[in-house]
A and B are shown apart, each in its own frame.
Chain A
């Protein structure tokens, strides 16, 4: 009887675990299928987008009217964006810096810039026409290879990534081998979709790079234009840090050296408790300051906090004007800029946070100011009335001024700034003060914290 009972229990346990296993197996098969479908979706869409990109680039070359050219070139921009999204979804063994992605991005960037140029009424130079043709040729090559890869996915059931080969690797005790040969650009048959894309990287890198100016042409950290040229040593940087601290109301802090940072804005790091500072090697300026102290009960309004911070800034030797204030509750975030001959220089900016318990500065970031500040020639070539004519009818102007604004491709331009309303929405419209082109439109949104430009 007893033995029978236990057999029964065992049999029941077996049946239950079989059922459980079967259920789990079906679940995981379902998830795998869903993942597989997503991957297929991304890869096939990539192939399709590249194909369309190639086609519109061809049409963009032959189009003779500006309108047609703008149409095809902007389509090229959207197709490359979509292709980029697909590339970002295809599985990879490692976080990939993919050259394919970079290439597709730059093609899109180039096309959008060209489209914009044609749209405002300038013709492409013969050099740009030649770059367009080169770009098209390179996209053609890439498109062929991706389609070839698609054929192999269809016929050979190519895996998405190279499977780990050894047992150790499968137990994830070792790193999977990346297709080294393909990285070196040898002609071997890739064994997975990712390896195929990696191989594409190598063959693309053999092609001559195309040059253009655009948003993503190159990502180089700009030389700081505003920092004084001479270098300072560690002791001098400590002096600068202490001077800064005493002026923001924190004297007697015993700062400790916390290392150096490198790069164009590199500097000496100083720390003590909640306080940290970076003093630039070049010029010995306090670039950043953070004070992560606990906030006390709020005693000031946002406006009072702002004026306290402005007088602290004056102590530090700054005469800057505030542009925006955001109220986060216990503290405000404030941005101040340089104003030269009544022209607002938006690139020369300092960002602050100000605690509303005592109005002291809790964060200070002068990176933009030191990176971009330089003597500027601020004489407009067109008058404000000429600029006003460039605005659309029905735009009600509330404020007018001159400003230096940053625009695509790390440039800045002198522009007339018009703040006004159009159909119940508020905008900032910038008209280039040299050539009258509409440079930039920003929409003003009121968030719970304050005004926000979109």
Chain B
């Protein structure tokens, strides 16, 4: 191969890449389905993860994982479950991941910092528990904020040394599940199935005397909630 040919080949390749980038539009311009790829798919994946439909890696490829996440999203949001990211699915996804605004429309960020961390904690501590039990775990954290013995922010409580095992083993850094996100919203809105619990533990896994000595309120799923 001559040097000239190499140059031409290289330039064509670069041009092709640039053009293919231009060809992709914004999320919502076209129907995305199994086999689609490009930056709009990455955008779709990001928004799904934000709402509690984990996909990893964010590779911009509409594969089986993305399709499953889209189906789950559609199921949870009363949309037609077809696994296709059409206009309705995308506009609902965009609506729920939009920034919050003031009365006159000035954007002020999503305003869900605490809900997000709560959801991660719930997801890591109570995955597989009944939904009510997930709300209860989020409520325990919020109850601690009202208790004199605890710090006054969600982050200070969650990251208190040895307070939650999921912080020690890093589970907390995983993207939360959709039901955990929902449960966190529920608790922030004031739901507390435990009526004031400060602790929860799994009786099968805990021998800690202190926690067993606390007055018990009720058991939900595998967790006993105590004052």
- A residues contacting B by CB (< 8 A) are 81, 84-85, 87-99, 101-102, 105-106, 109, 215-219, 221, 259-266, 269, 276, 278, 288, 290, 292, 294-298, 328-331, 333, 335, 349, 351, 353, 355-357, 363, 365, 367-368, 421, 424-426, 444-449, 452, 454
Q: Which residues of B contact A449 (CB under 8 A)?
A: 96
- The answer to whether A329 and B148 touch (CB under 8 A), given A260-B218, A367-B195, A448-B100, is no
B30 within 8 A of A: no
* C-alpha spacing A331/B178, complex, angstroms: 14
Binds A, one of B11-19, B31-39, B157-165: B157-165
Are B132 and A426 closer than 8 Å at their CB atoms?
no
Name the residue on A nearest B96 (C-beta): A448
- What residues of B have a CB within 8 angstroms of the CB of A94 in the complex? 162, 208, 210
Given known contacts A102-B148, A105-B149, A269-B218, is B100 in contact with A444 (CB within 8 Å)? Answer: no
Whether the pair B219, A259 counts as a contact (CB closer than 8 A) is: yes
- Are B149 and A102 closer than 8 Å at their CB atoms? yes
> Which of B56-64, B101-109, B116-124 has 4 or more CB atoms under 8 Å from chain A?
B101-109
**CB of B215 within 8 A of chain A?**
yes
Pair A445/B100 contact, Cβ less than 8 Å: yes
- Measured between alpha carbons, how far is A211 from B221 in the docked complex, in Å? 39
Looking across the interface, which residue of chain A has its beta carbon closest to that of B95?
Answer: A448
Rounded to whole angstroms, the CA-CA distance of A225 and B18 in the bound complex is 69
Please give the residue numbers on chain B whose beta carbons come within 8 Å of chain A beta carbons, in ascending order.
75-81, 92, 95-98, 100-104, 106, 108, 110-112, 130-132, 146-152, 156-157, 159-163, 182, 185-186, 189-193, 195-196, 208, 210, 215-219, 227
> How distant is A106 from chain B, measured CB to nearest CB, in Å?
5
Nearest CB of chain B from residue A147's CB, rounded to whole Å: 22
User: Are B101 and A101 interface neighbours, CB within 8 A?
Assistant: no
Known pairs A216-B147, A259-B219; A294 contacts B75 (CB<8 A):
yes
**Chain A contacts for B210, CB-based, 8 A:** 94
Tell which of A95, A331, A353 touches B160, judged by Cβ atoms closer than 8 Å: A95
A99-B149, A298-B78, A367-B192 given; A425·B103 CB < 8 A = yes
Contacts of A88 in B (CB 8 A): 151, 156-157, 159-160
Q: How far is the CB of A399 from chain B (nearest CB, A)?
A: 13
B218 touches A85 (CB 8 A): no
* B217 adjacent to A263 (CB under 8 Å): yes
B132 to chain A, nearest CB (A): 5
Give the docked Cα–Cα distance between A87 and B152 (Å): 12
Verify A446–B100 contact, CB threshold 8 A.
yes
Q: Which residue of A lies closest to B80 (CB)?
A: A297
A329 touches B103 (CB 8 A): no
The docked-state distance in angstroms from the alpha carbon of A221 to that of B79 is 41
B132: chain A residues at CB < 8 Å are 276, 290, 292
Kindly provide the distance from the CB of A124 to the nearest chain B CB, expressed in whole angstroms. Answer: 21
Which listed residue, A85, A102, A424, touches B103 by the CB 8 Å rule? Answer: A424
Cα distance A92–B219 in the bound complex, in angstroms: 28
- A residues less than 8 Å from B79 (CB atoms): 297-298, 329-330
Task: Kindly provide the distance from the CB of A443 to the nearest chain B CB, expressed in whole angstroms.
Answer: 8
In the complex, are the beta carbons of A261 and B102 less than 8 A apart? no
A164 to B15, CA, bound (A): 64
Known A-B contacts A92-B161, A93-B162, A448-B97; the reply to A331 vs B78 at CB < 8 A is: yes
Tell me whether B100 and A365 are in contact (CB under 8 A): no
Shortest Cβ distance from B123 into chain A, in angstroms? Answer: 17
A-B contact pairs, 17 of them (CB 8 A): A84-B152, A89-B161, A95-B163, A101-B149, A105-B148, A217-B148, A262-B218, A290-B131, A295-B77, A329-B76, A330-B78, A365-B190, A367-B192, A367-B195, A426-B103, A447-B100, A448-B100
Q: Of all chain A residues, which has the CB nearest B98?
A: A448
Question: Are A216 and B100 interface neighbours, CB within 8 A?
Answer: no
Contact of A329 among B78, B146, B157, B162 (CB under 8 A): B78
CB–CB B191/A221 < 8 A: no
A218 to B149 CA separation, bound complex (whole angstroms): 10
For B110, the chain A residues whose CB sits under 8 A away are 447
Report whether B149 and A356 are in contact in the complex, using a CB–CB cutoff of 8 Å.
no
Q: Knowing that A262-B217, A266-B195 touch, tell me 17 more A-B residue pairs with CB under 8 angstroms.
A: A84-B156, A88-B159, A92-B160, A92-B162, A101-B149, A297-B79, A328-B182, A329-B77, A330-B76, A333-B185, A425-B103, A425-B104, A444-B103, A446-B100, A447-B112, A448-B95, A448-B98
Q: What 8 A-B pairs come out closest when comparing CB atoms? A: A298-B78, A329-B77, A330-B78, A426-B103, A261-B218, A102-B149, A216-B148, A424-B104
Closest to A218 in B: B148
Are B77 and A264 closer than 8 Å at their CB atoms?
no
Q: Are B80 and A445 in touch, CB under 8 angstroms?
A: no
When distances are taken between beta carbons in the complex, the residues of chain B under 8 Å from A99 are 149
Closest to B145 in A: A216
Residues of B within 8 A of A217 (CB): 148
Given known A92-B162, A297-B80, A333-B189, contact A263–B196 (CB-CB < 8 A): yes
User: Are A261 and B217 touching (Cβ within 8 A)?
Assistant: yes
Q: Is the CB of A445 within 8 A of B101?
A: yes
Select from chain B the residue with minimum beta-carbon distance to A108.
Answer: B152
Set of chain A residues within 8 Å of B151, measured between Cβ atoms:
84-85, 87-88, 101
Of the candidates A259, A296, A329, the one whose C-beta lies within 8 Å of that of B96 is: A329
Q: A262 and B215: CB pair below 8 A?
A: yes
Q: Which residue of B lies closest to A161 (CB)?
A: B161
B148 touches A219 (CB 8 A): yes
Cα–Cα distance between A221 and B192 once the two chains are bound (Å): 12
Q: How far is the CB of A244 from chain B (nearest CB, A)?
A: 16
Contact A447 B217 (CB under 8 A): no
Report chain B residues within 8 Å CB of A98.
149
Of all chain B residues, which has the CB nearest A290?
Answer: B132
Q: What are the residues of chain B within 8 A of A106 when measuring CB–CB?
A: 148
* Bound-complex Cα distance A183 to B219 (A): 31
